[in-house]
Structure 1
Amino acid sequence: MKVLLLYFLFINFITFLLTGYDKFQARRHRRRIPEFILFLLAFVGGTIGLLTGMFFFRHKTAKITFIMKFSYIILVQIVVIYLKMTQKI
């Protein structure tokens, strides 16, 4: 259980940092972090890090397609957690 907690702390911290780095790069019109990478990190447990980074850095909050895809990831995670908690997985 301790390893799982450390994993989630690490993946969320990395996702948060990469969101900030992507915003930094966007302001300077330089090479950016692909959205796929941000979504992948969110999917494997970095949802809170990405959500926090979006609001903290005001990054991708106006991009509707990004928000829709991110919402889908959150929905999938909620369903998986629900099914796990009810022992159907």
Structure 2
Amino acid sequence: MALLVAAYFIMNIAGLVIMWEDKRRAKRHEYRIRERTLWLVALFGGAVGTTAGMQLYRHKTKHLNFKIGFPILAIIEVILLFKVLL
């Protein structure tokens, strides 16, 4: 159980960082992180972090698939985590 919680925590930190990095690159007109990569981080447990990063850094908020998809995925992941832990 502790390993699962640690992995979930690490993936969410990674989600937050990857959204920050993509926003930084966007501002500098540099090579961007693929949207597929953002989605994969979210799908593998980082949806809460990517959603927080999206809101915190105001990044990808105009893209409907991110604006709706990340929060829905975050809710599903939190529910699944609680079901596994309880």
TM-score class normalised by the smaller sequence: 0.7 to 0.9
Give the 5 Å matches for 1:1-89: 1-70=1-70, 74=73, 77=76, 81=80, 85=83
Please list the CA deviations of residues 7-44 of structure 1 after superposition, one character each: whole Å capped at 9, or x if unmatched: 01101101110100000000011101101001001001
Quick check: which has more Rg, 1 or 2?
1
Rounded to whole Å, the distance in 2 between the matches of 1:69 and 1:25 is 22
Structure 2: gaps of 5 or more residues: none
List gaps (5 residues or longer) in structure 1: none
- The number of residue pairs the alignment matches comes to 81
RMSD, aligned CA: 2.3
